[in-house]
Chains A and B, each alone.
Chain A
Amino acid sequence: MKNREKVLQVKNLYITFNTFSGKVHGVRGVNFDLHKGETLAIVGESGSGKSVTNKAIMGILSKNANIEDGQILYKDKDLTKFSDKQFTKIRGSEISMIFQDPMSSLDPVMKIGKQIMEAMLVKENISKAEAKEKALNLMAAVGIPEPEKRFNQYPFQFSGGMRQRIVIAIALACDPDILICDEPTTALDVTIQAQILDLIKEIQEERQISVIFITHDLGVVANVADRVAVMYAGKIVETGTVDEIFYNPQHPYTWSLLASMPDLDTDASDELLVIPGTPPNMLYPPKGDAFAPRNRYAMKIDFKKEPPMFKVSDTHYAATWLLHPDAPKVEKPEALTRRIEKQKERQVADNE
Chain B
Amino acid sequence: MRADGTRVRSPVTTTILVTSIVFLFAPLAVVVLFSFNDGGSVTLPFRGFTLGWYREILSSTEFRSAVTNSAIVATVVALATLVLGTLAAYGITRARSRLRPFVAVLLFLPLTLPGLFLGLSLLVVFSGTEISLSLTTVAVAHLVYVLPYYLLISVAALQRLDPALEEVGADLGGNAWLVFRRVTLPQIWPILLSAALLAFLLSFDEFIITFFVIGPQSTLPLFIFSSLRRTVDPSINAISSSLLFVTIVVFAVSFALTVRSARSGRISVEPDVVGVDA
Asked whether A and B interact, the reply is: no
B residues at A contact (CB < 8 Å):
none
A residues at B contact (CB < 8 Å):
none
